[in-house]
Amino acid sequence: MRRINLLSENTANKIAAGEVVERASSVVKELVENSLDAESKNLNIEIEESGNKLIRIIDDGTGIHPEDISKAFMPHGTSKIASLDDIYSIQSYGFRGEALPSIAAVSKVKLKSRPSEFEYGREIFIEGGRVVHEIDLGCNLGTEIEVKDLFFNTPARQKFLKSPQREKSLINDLMLKLALGSYKTSMTLINDGKQVFKTFGEDELDKNLRILYGKEVYENVIPIENHGDILSVYGYIGNESISRGSRNRQSIFVNKRLIKSSLITAAVENAFKSFIMVNKFPFFVIYIDIFPEFIDPNVHPTKNEVKFLEDRVLFKTVFDAVHTALKEALRKNFVIPEEEEEEVQPFRQPVERDYAAEVSQLSLHEYPSVTPVREPSRDSEVGNMSSNYIKESIEAFPSNTQVMHESLNTFNKGEMTLAAEVHTNNIIEKPIVTSESRTYRESLAKFPKIKLIGQCFNSYIIGEYMNELYLIDQHAAHEKVLFEKYRKNIGNLNVVSQILAVPAIIPLTFDEYALFKDNEQVFLNMGFVIEDFGDNDILVREVPLFLGNPQMNKLFHEILDNLRGLGSGLTIDVKYDKIASLACRAAVKANDKLSDIEILGLLDELRYIDEPFTCPHGRPTILKYTMKDIEKSFKRI
């Protein structure tokens, strides 16, 4: 145990001041790091109500000298450095002497501690920065700190906090990273009475990886290692199957400190690039041990960054060391897995739903450059086509493509050139389901009935109407048709689900799990029936009907990544839109060769949806060239 020095005013000022206690998770971080600095072997972390009610950390570290216990709560009270120079040889997490006073100022803190040299320990109780008592008492070796009622005296701060569930998941996620970084210390995290994890102490990085990230990650990583003169690089990287849409599962530890570093991230991603062609972020946990002289940990009060000293040779050494470690491991081990087909069978027969209501939702939007042309109906069946299509799809429903085949067989090809009447300014809300209302329905079309010319690149539909050439992005169009129907059904809480014959088990990290829990009702409203399966795993029992036979694992992670990316404070409609658009994309297969009949069916559906001109992701679905445009291009005019 080292004694505590009070930094001189001057030194203290040199260490940039800053807010250390932003939220409960930053308190947890500071306290755990203090315990780690005290060389604890075992750490017990208990959280209640997202840390707002209680954060309790019990360690078996070196403890605090009884006479120093109140100094620990004074600004700049630290045992870790004595002068600014010490920062550059620092091995500890802390050095600013800011955390305890900052935390004690905004909560009710009780700390008791006993170093091994003493038979009795000492306890201090501080409320909102004011010492209430300090007493000697018998206690275990090490330190126990209890932080209660966080921000009780700064209500303004509470406004900035995320939802309790989200705060809780921030803590869980942070603890995961801290446990990963200090894998030689055994940590037990208990959140609201439930044990989230317990890691092994000692040198059991791989076992801890399994505990913290689960079996799926454990089975899809390979170790990396590269030892040089001034630094060592080691850790694990994951294959494509565990890549994700966010960087959340990328961790870099420099001298055990979790940091963000564009230099190292670039080295890693660069090495990956030549092996994996994905636009996702690979999984990795990378440890770099380097002589402390080469880094500056004092870039930011939260110490989430370190700077490598401004030295091109050093930059290059670090970059190369990481790059080489990865390349070698990738070259030796990497087998890029086949896209895993999940063994999910289609479902039982779904229940009937109210299509009339669905159709009645159609509203009219102007299609800007179409001249309305009235032409009498020749086929009274056509008016009914859309609803027939859906009904038949449901009966037949083996997969999306097949749906199209089956349902479109009823369609009369002779209708191809029928012109449309387009109303431009009124919204019509009457249901249109009978064949008599065919003309009426036609009046709701957003663009005219296009004469089909063909399909190119298995992706684009070519058609003409009057003196205009149309190019339609088939996949975008299909996505949008599904999207609009799905969105309406969600709005009416009328989504039809199918039971998966084999439910999909999806392993989640606890951060993902918390995000899911935050949005459980949203998923339910969207037709996903999901149960807890223990250990942060979930079981998807039912999915929206139109999804067919989805790769649920992939889709679900994509959805969670997107929800996370959107940040907090989202309206439910934004969430619905986001999830629905991802689901619809998953439902639409790329590069299908469509038959004419299928194309016509798709076009017909597209004509009647609310917003046919953009896909759910905002890209255009339809391009139009006038004859004039084309003639100009050929320099005829």
| Interacting residue ranges for ligand ADP, rule: CB under 6 A | 4, 30, 34-35, 38, 59, 61-64, 72, 77-80, 94-100, 143
DSSP code string of 267-284: HHHHHHHTT---SSBPPE
Q: How far is the CB of 82 from ligand ADP (least distance, A)?
A: 11
Cβ-based nearer residue to ligand ADP, 31 or 560: 31
Q: Which entry of Mg ion, ligand ADP, none binds 358, CB below 5 to 8 A by partner kind?
A: none
d(CA 27, CA 52): 10
- For residue 195, give both structure tokens: 């044990």
Q: How far is the CB of 78 from ligand ADP (least distance, A)?
A: 3
Among 99, 285, 326, 582, binds Mg ion (CB under 5 A): 99
CB-closest chain residue to ligand ADP: 94
Q: Which two tokens stand for residue 247?
A: 């960087």
Nearest to 103 by CA among 38, 36, 186, 32: 32
Provide the CA 393 distance to its chain's centre, in angstroms.
33
Surface-to-core class of residue 322, CB atoms within 10 Å of its CB (0-12 exposed, 13-18 middle, 19+ buried):
buried
Q: By CB under 5 A, which span of 30-38, 82-90, 410-418, 482-490 interacts with Mg ion?
A: 30-38
CB of residue 280 to Mg ion, shortest distance in Å: 36
Closest-CA residue to 257 (of 292, 221, 231, 225): 292
Binding mask 31-70 for Mg ion (x = CB under 5 A): ---x------------------------------------
| 241, 322, 554 from 335: Cα distances, Å | 11, 20, 19
Range list of H helices, 352-420: 355-360, 385-396, 400-408
Residue 64 interacts, among ligand ADP, Mg ion, none and using kind-specific CB cut-offs from 5 to 8 Å, with ligand ADP
Q: Which is nearer to Mg ion, 94 or 383 (CB)?
A: 94
Residue 100 or 597 with smaller CB distance to Mg ion? 100
Examine residue 26 and tell whether it contacts Mg ion (CB under 5 A): no
Residues 6 or more apart in contact with residue 148 via CB below 8 angstroms: 53, 54, 107, 108, 109, 110
Query: Cβ 12 to Mg ion, closest distance in Å?
Result: 15
| 109: three-class secondary structure by DSSP | strand
Beta-strand ranges (E) seen in 400-536 are 451-456, 460-465, 468-473, 497-507, 529-532
Choice between 35 and 239, CB closer to ligand ADP: 35
Partner residues linked to 191 by β-bridges: 47, 194
The binder of 59, among Mg ion, ligand ADP, none, by C-beta within 5 to 8 A per type, is ligand ADP
Neighbours of 162 (CB within 10 A): 17
Q: Is 559 in the site for Mg ion (CB under 5 A)?
A: no
Task: Decide whether 87 or 285 has the Cβ nearer to Mg ion.
Answer: 87
Q: Which does 255 bind (CB under 5 to 8 A by kind): ligand ADP, Mg ion, none?
A: none
**Gap between the Cα atoms of 193 and 190, Å rounded:** 6
Least distance (Å) between residue 98 CB and Mg ion: 8
Instruction: Name the minimum Å distance from CB 180 to ligand ADP.
Output: 20
Confirm if 450 and 462 have CB atoms less than 8 A apart.
no
Q: CB-wise, 88 or 334, nearer to ligand ADP?
A: 88
Q: Does 94 bind Mg ion (CB under 5 A)?
A: yes
- DSSP state letter for 614: B
Smallest distance, Å, CB 23 to ligand ADP?
Answer: 17
Nearer to ligand ADP, 80 or 585 (CB): 80
Check if the beta carbon of residue 236 is closer than 8 Å to that of residue 287: no
Q: What is d(CA 319, CA 265) in angstroms, rounded to the nearest whole number? A: 9
CB nearer ligand ADP, residue 96 or residue 249: 96
Of 99 and 212, the one with the shorter C-beta distance to Mg ion is 99
Work out what residue 61 binds among Mg ion, ligand ADP, none; the CB cut-off runs from 5 to 8 Å by kind. Answer: ligand ADP
Q: Which does 66 bind (CB under 5 to 8 A by kind): ligand ADP, Mg ion, none?
A: none
Question: Which residues lie near Mg ion (CB under 5 A)?
Answer: 34, 94, 99
